[in-house]
Structure 1
Amino acid sequence: MLGRMSVKINGADCGFEALLLGATTSIGGFLFGYDTGQISALLLFKDFMNRFAQDGPNGEKEWDSIIQSTLVSLMSIGCLIGALSGAYTADWWGRRKSMSFGVFVFIIGNIIQITAMQSWVHMMIGRLVAGLGVGNLSVGVPMFQSESSPREIRGAVVASYQLMITFGILVSNIINYGVRNIEESDASWRIVIGLGIFFSLPLGLGIMVVPESPRWLASRGRWEDARLAFGRLRGLKDDLQNPLVEDDINEMREILEKEQQVGTGGWLECFSTKTDVPKVLYRTLLGIGIHFLQQWTGVNYFFYYGATIFDSAGVDDPILVQLILGAVNVAMTFYGLYVVEKYGRRWPLFLGALWQCAWLLVFASVGTGLNPENNSTSGIVMIVSACMFIASFAGTWGPMAWVVIGETFPLRTRAKQASLSTAGNWLGNFLIGFLTPIATSGISYAYGFVFAGTNLAAALLVWFFLYESRTLSLENVDLMYGQPDLKPWTSHRWVPPGYVTRKERDTSHFRNMSVSGPAGGAKKSDDRSDDAVAGSTLAEKV
């Protein structure tokens, strides 16, 4: 029966609908990547330049650096506003309807772009509106995935959002490469933008087929619907009393009951130090910091302006170089899906930032010391450096930053904190898009030294402030951040109360309760809880 359609992943049942949910929602990441990747080559297409670029001193069309910055970066401002609005729509309408709304806004923005004729302002407004939709999705998708995916596949499912971002960038690069032969026709850029509408439809329609977030349903008091959603996601909708479903429900009920005792969190609570929920401000600033620095690793320095950068470096086919970077990005993100579950979050993020710092130093040093226009070896080294940087980002900071905001926040303020973190991502994205043409016209490839410094800052942020959440339920992640003496660099040793390991409950606890009876069971439960806490404290000190 359909209710029993499930597969074993990491030792636990995961339903077909959980896999369908991961595949469908990840299209939101594809749209993000597709819009990110397309603009780099469009800026070089002749018809696009003839319509929207400015008259140069020799009568040829060329981009004014401020107008180019504004055209590229205003989409990021739209995404920032859309991300903040996502907190409201996700809470008001539910996660699924909010995502359908995001797709609708994205389609409207693409229609505005396609109908642009001669005005760069018209094109810019279209990118701004499309950004509103993408920003809304950038909050809704990771939050929905993290709340709905069984914990055994949660990291990989949320990381698949970044995989689809990279796939979207690659597909846009392939399409750009394919239409470059008709770059003198308006069909070139209209095809690229119009295909975004086609790609968005499976998400807008398909999302309504999968279950709503169990945690959102439970927060509205719809416990039977939440139980059914858990059953469907586990492939057990005809066996809702299954221990797996019961475990998911009971664990969620415990934390929800505690949170509901103190009401619903508002925006100010995200920045409060006087709440019953531990480290709320700490986690808000951590999420914003990680996502801001994800952009300031420098990844969109290459994806927004890579074709322009390598064109100025004298590379014969800069669009082909973009295609190569996009392929590396996709290939290494598959590796990132493995790394996030195998090695956790902290070490890959820390080492990835250091690796990226090193290759950006090479890129900037070679580009500054040896003019690539006159030295082909310099150009090759810069391309290799860019590939090595992208490889690391795709395997670490690309997917894992999204995993972190899906796991770090308490349910009561999760939507708002996720919105703030994603807004930090889009703020960093906007600054990269806006400042890059201005900075490169002034300091050229030495701009890479700035990104080397921000990667070093990202490594320090992870080491000193991020807790390891691998294999923990969302409720136990919340509990971990509340441990007063637990340090981020020892957090991987912490085990939740009532668990033998991070994944396995202490089943003797439940057996003792059933043997002792109601009164004895209550006493045994308290004893076991104290033992588990003591064990957790001991683990912290080892």
Structure 2
Amino acid sequence: MLGQKSIRINGADCGVEALMLGATTSIGGFLFGYDTGQISGMLLFKDFIDRFGQDQGDGTKDWQPIIQSLLVSLMSIGTLIGALSGAYTADWWGRRKSLSFGVAVFVCGNIIQITAQHSWVHMMMGRFTAGLGIGNLSVGVPMFQSECSPREIRGAVVASYQLLITFGILVSNIINYAVRTIETTSASWRIVIGLGIAFSLPLGIGILLVPESPRWLAGQQDREGARMSMARLRGMKDDPNHPLVERDLREMYDSIEKERSVGVGSWAECFTGRPSGIPRLVYRTFLGVGIHFLQQWTGVNYFFYYGATIFSSAGIDDPIQTQLILGAVNVALTFYGLYVVEKYGRRWPLFLGALWQAVWLAVFASVGTAIDPDSSRTVGIIMIVSACMFIASFAGTWGPIAWVVIGETFPLRTRAKQASLATAANWFGNFLISFLTPLATNGISYAYGYVFAACNLVAAVLVWFFLYESRTLSLEHVDLMYGQRDLKPWRSSKWTPPGFATRKRRHPESEADDDATRVGSFGEDRGRGEKTAKKDSGDLGATESRREDVSRAV
């Protein structure tokens, strides 16, 4: 029976239900990627154009730039609204029911799309509704994962969400490639959308078979429910008083108590810094917003939303196949990105990644502008290579690392609100890209790539002059580092917390002080440096703490 079996992972027991939870919830990331990637190929299907395109002067049908913009971009508005509402439904109904609700809304949106006949408004509203569901899941899934996964597998489970987004994009490209042979019938695009419903059902139904979040149950004052949920996640349903379960519960309640002790900051405090007086609070708000807005304006969704259309206009024989190649590069290099963020930190990968991306976007724009791609196969190949080199860099740097930054940059008191602002900036940037791209390419064609190249240069400047290096630091020490008025961002990688010989190791004489670090208020801890984290929760390690907060931020 589920809940009575456990598996040894990293030297500790993890319940079968915890593994099932991780696998099931990751489907939410897959749906996110699948819905993002499917529209690029569908815009080229003949039946899709004949039904929803606009009459041209020669009697044919094609897309008017403004209609194409609205058809693609309104999903991002739906996702933004869904993300803002997801935190509320997760608190009102619990994590599991909220996720099932998100899947139900997504399914309704897909049904609306499938039933569209000839109205582009009908199709657009279906995409908007599906976006509401995806937005709800984009908040609920990482939150549920971080609250339920035992710490021994938490990092892998949370990382799987970002990985499954890229995998969803790839699968949508594969399916678009497979059905392009029947593009003259409505089955082409209806199959693509309908499979999205099929992919969502294991999440909507399976999520009801796993335990509710023990953290949510504790917040509802259901201590026994929280204990049983924690025991099931450890595979100890028949021994809910096991020491391992007791330790997990103690760490959870310590964390909840600490959050209550520091209080919750207001939205206004994120922009004024008062009344808390937390060092560089407003600075960090705009840093997070800037990085996430620029993550979109690196130009990644220029290729994922409109890549097939771009390469079709460039004279590429099979643009959907080209889109498939970009999706495969995105998946492969995301694995590398998970290594880069821990090996090389945040600043250098983001800085060098932005410069690299600017170079290849400039190549893409220059070649496409200087020589008509229709007249030269070589130009088309260079443009494809440039796009692949750009995607490779994004997947290994700005894709995953931007989310890490918002998870570890903000102080506990205002972390949720600042992360929400950064995420909203990301979705707003997403909307602008999807809305403006058809209009811009219609006006300046491939020279639009210069806009993204310039944005990457701005991103590199932002990272170099304003972002502090936080690799291997606990969240409390990151907060302390931002409070050092004389510390420059480009020198931050050499900063060590008080009492530490390196970022990873304390001075020997400081070891005896560990018990003392377990007491004191948040404000008092900030002034004393190393007296910031309780030892029990500190044992989780800086890496897992950051990953947990990244998932809550997303």
* Alignment TM-score, normalising by the size of structure 1: 0.85
Match of residue 442 from structure 1: 443
| Residue pair 1:77, 1:131 contacting (<8 A) in 2 also | yes
Residue identity matched to 2:370: G
Deviations 1:45-68 (A, max 9, x none): 111111110111110111111111
Alignment of 1:32-71 (within 5 A): 32-71=32-71
* Distance change in 2, residues 1:40/1:129 (3 Å): same
Match of residue 369 from structure 1: 370
| Residue pair 1:38, 1:169 contacting (<8 A) in 2 also | yes
Residue identity matched to 2:294: L
Partner-residue secondary structure (3-state), 2:374: coil
Instruction: Please report how far the alpha carbon of residue 202 of structure 1 lies from its aligned counterpart in structure 2 after TM superposition.
Output: 2.0
Match of residue 191 from structure 1: 191
For residues 422 and 288 of structure 2, the distance between their equivalents in structure 1, rounded to whole angstroms, comes to 5
| Residue pair 1:160, 1:399 contacting (<8 A) in 2 also | no
Match of residue 6 from structure 1: 8
Tell me, which stretches of 5 or more residues in structure 1 are unaligned? Answer: 514-520, 537-542
Alignment of 1:59-458 (within 5 A): 59-149=59-149, 156-213=156-213, 216=216, 238=239, 242=243, 246=247, 256-261=256-261, 263-276=263-276, 278=278, 279-458=280-459
Tell me, which stretches of 5 or more residues in structure 2 are unaligned? Answer: 533-554
* Alignment TM-score, normalising by the size of structure 2: 0.83
* Distance change in 2, residues 1:103/1:462 (3 Å): farther
Instruction: Please report how far the alpha carbon of residue 257 of structure 1 lies from its aligned counterpart in structure 2 after TM superposition.
Output: 3.6
Q: What value does the CA root-mean-square deviation take over the aligned residues?
A: 3.6
| Residue pair 2:477, 2:530 contacting (<8 A) in 1 also | no
* Distance change in 2, residues 1:491/1:236 (3 Å): farther
* Distance change in 2, residues 1:379/1:164 (3 Å): same
Deviations 1:82-130 (A, max 9, x none): 1221232233334433322221111111111011111000000000111
| Residue pair 1:83, 1:420 contacting (<8 A) in 2 also | no
| Residue pair 2:500, 2:506 contacting (<8 A) in 1 also | yes
Deviations 1:227-246 (A, max 9, x none): 66666656677586757974
* Distance change in 2, residues 1:153/1:451 (3 Å): farther
Instruction: Please report how far the alpha carbon of residue 282 of structure 1 lies from its aligned counterpart in structure 2 after TM superposition.
Output: 3.4
Partner-residue secondary structure (3-state), 1:116: coil
| Residue pair 1:100, 1:203 contacting (<8 A) in 2 also | yes
Deviations 1:427-452 (A, max 9, x none): 11111111111111111111111101
Deviations 1:413-464 (A, max 9, x none): 4444333222211111111111111111111111111101111222222333
Residue identity matched to 1:59: G
Instruction: Please report how far the alpha carbon of residue 226 of structure 1 lies from its aligned counterpart in structure 2 after TM superposition.
Output: 5.6
Comparing 441-450 with 288-297, greater Cα deviation is found at 288-297
Instruction: Please report how far the alpha carbon of residue 161 of structure 1 lies from its aligned counterpart in structure 2 after TM superposition.
Output: 2.1
| Residue pair 1:103, 1:137 contacting (<8 A) in 2 also | yes
| Residue pair 1:228, 1:240 contacting (<8 A) in 2 also | no
* Distance change in 2, residues 1:353/1:208 (3 Å): farther
* Distance change in 2, residues 1:434/1:530 (3 Å): closer
For residues 377 and 215 of structure 2, the distance between their equivalents in structure 1, rounded to whole angstroms, comes to 56
For residues 104 and 482 of structure 1, the distance between their equivalents in structure 2, rounded to whole angstroms, comes to 45
Instruction: Please report how far the alpha carbon of residue 157 of structure 1 lies from its aligned counterpart in structure 2 after TM superposition.
Output: 3.8
Partner-residue secondary structure (3-state), 1:207: helix
Partner-residue secondary structure (3-state), 1:5: strand
* Distance change in 2, residues 1:257/1:475 (3 Å): farther
Instruction: Please report how far the alpha carbon of residue 504 of structure 1 lies from its aligned counterpart in structure 2 after TM superposition.
Output: 7.0
Comparing 204-213 with 117-126, greater Cα deviation is found at 204-213
Instruction: Please report how far the alpha carbon of residue 397 of structure 1 lies from its aligned counterpart in structure 2 after TM superposition.
Output: 1.5
For residues 347 and 313 of structure 1, the distance between their equivalents in structure 2, rounded to whole angstroms, comes to 34
Partner-residue secondary structure (3-state), 1:373: helix
Comparing 445-454 with 213-222, greater Cα deviation is found at 213-222
